[in-house]
Amino acid sequence: MTPRAFVPGHVTGFFSVHPDDDPVVAGSRGAGLALSDGVTVTADPVASADQRAVELNGETVEMPAVTGVLNRLDAHARVVADTDLPLSAGFGVSGACALGTALSLDAATAGGHTERELVAIAHASEVEAGTGLGDVVGQARGGLPVRLEPGAPPHGYLDGLPARPAVEYVTFGGLDTAAVIGGDTETLSRAGEEALATLRETPTVETFMRAARRFSREASLQTDEVRTAIEAVEAAGGEAAMAMLGQTVFALDDGLSRAGYDARSCRVTDGAALVGE
């Protein structure tokens, strides 16, 4: 049997952009949540480049972050990924596919890489693909990851909040990650650095949610539907914020249901790992 990896979904609440010519060094500071709704990935080695394929929920797709992992591991594989998460909506599905491919393929080929090496390979591939800056390291750590220094091991540095709350989410559509993180990110990054400073001062889930809400306002990323949902949850006494980068609202506990939304529920969970055979 091909070794299988499970990678949690990852929602970023706020972030700042830290470019670098080296994609292992480049990344983001910020904070987010690793979700028990995630992506299951297998990477079956195949003989040649023209047998390579990436399948997401049964459909053949182009996924440059996964291709990058195959290239860095100097391997050909048929990658099969399955997820219930909404796509292109701020859940880090491409990062999950990249990290899951690295974990599964290394196990299938007895590649002999360490966890940090595989995280660095997946992070660099994701950064080069332009599809994410911090999901992979957050997904590897799990919990409520706080990205104190950007980049992958050994450059990045993470801490985490110890809480493991229940989470609900609802999605109104996608946002173009590449357009946002490839555009003018000065205002966004300043707001992200302020949010991180606030969280470091009082590292609690409540501070995180408040800082994330303020960030999405200051970075002018909220759409009307997102703003309405966040306000509805607050009006019902809950805590909600926007997922970076998607038209997605997440809330603690049953905050969205109580505000009348048809939301999916999951939990904050552990980091990515191979699933026991």
Residues in the chain: 277
Among the listed residues 22, 173, 202, 260, the single contact to a copy of itself using CB under 8 A: 202
Buried b (16+ CB within 10 A) or exposed e, 120-145: bbbbbbbbbbebbbbbbbbbbbbbbb
Nearer to a copy of itself, 187 or 204 (CB): 204
Is 103 a binder of a copy of itself (CB under 8 A)? yes
- β-bridge mates for residue 47, sequence order: none
**Burial of 233: CB neighbours in 10 Å, binned 0-12, 13-18, 19+:** buried
Q: Which is nearest to 241 in space by CA: 254, 226, 253?
A: 226
Nearer to a copy of itself, 130 or 165 (CB): 165
Is 164 a binder of a copy of itself (CB under 8 A)? yes
Phi and psi at 24, nearest 5°, equal -75, -30
Nearer to a copy of itself, 236 or 274 (CB): 274
Is 219 a binder of a copy of itself (CB under 8 A)? no
Tokens 């332009």 belong to which residue?
Answer: 130
Q: Which is nearest to 122 in space by CA: 71, 57, 88, 54?
A: 71
Nearer to a copy of itself, 22 or 270 (CB): 270
Is 113 a binder of a copy of itself (CB under 8 A)? yes
Check: CB of residue 221 under 8 Å from CB of residue 245. Answer: yes
Token output for 160: 């985490």
By CB under 8 A, how many residues form the interface with a copy of itself? 35
- β-bridge mates for residue 228, sequence order: none
Among the listed residues 198, 203, 236, 258, the single contact to a copy of itself using CB under 8 A: 203
Smallest distance, a copy of itself to C-beta of residue 252, A: 12
Binding mask 248-277 for a copy of itself (x = CB under 8 A): -------------------xx-xx-xxxxx
Is 49 a binder of a copy of itself (CB under 8 A)? no
Q: Which stretch binds a copy of itself (CB under 8 A): 51-59, 162-170, 178-186, 228-236?
A: 162-170
Smallest distance, a copy of itself to C-beta of residue 33, A: 13
Is 79 a binder of a copy of itself (CB under 8 A)? no
Is 75 a binder of a copy of itself (CB under 8 A)? no
